[in-house]
Amino acid sequence: MSNPEQTLETVEGMTPVKKDKEKAEAEEQTKNQDTEVKKKEFEGQLTQLEAMFTLDKVTHLIFFLIIELNFLFSKRLIYILMELEMKRMMMNHFFV
């Protein structure tokens, strides 16, 4: 390659390859960036789904706790009412 013309042709011939390589690297970088953006979006969606699932479970538990508390309160209320009725009956019996 001592001939300058041949060297110049060789260099000129390499230039498109270099440009193609740079273009391919730029495209690859763009794809990687797009992939990262999509990955973050999917992670966000996954987090939302997990939060919705957890919220649904919490809501379900609260619902059953309300039912249980209502049942316990009702039993206690019935017991108090029965106790009051017994006292009323006793008072009526003694003061009649």
User: C-alpha distances in angstroms, 89 versus 76, 80, 94?
Assistant: 20, 14, 9
User: C-alpha distances in angstroms, 76 versus 24, 72, 73, 82?
Assistant: 77, 6, 5, 10
Q: How many CB atoms lie within 10 A of CB 51?
A: 10
Q: For residue 13, what pLDDT is reported?
A: 61
pLDDT in tens, 35-93: 888 888 888 888 988 988 888 888 888 888 888 888 888 888 888 888 888 888 888 87
pLDDT in tens, 1-36: 467 667 766 766 656 666 677 777 888 888 888 888
Q: What is the DSSP letter of 95?
A: -
**Taking the model in full, what pTM does it have?**
0.43
Gyration radius from the chain CA atoms: 41
Q: For residue 55, what pLDDT is reported?
A: 84
Q: What is the DSSP letter of 77?
A: H
Q: For residue 75, what pLDDT is reported?
A: 84
Q: For residue 94, what pLDDT is reported?
A: 73
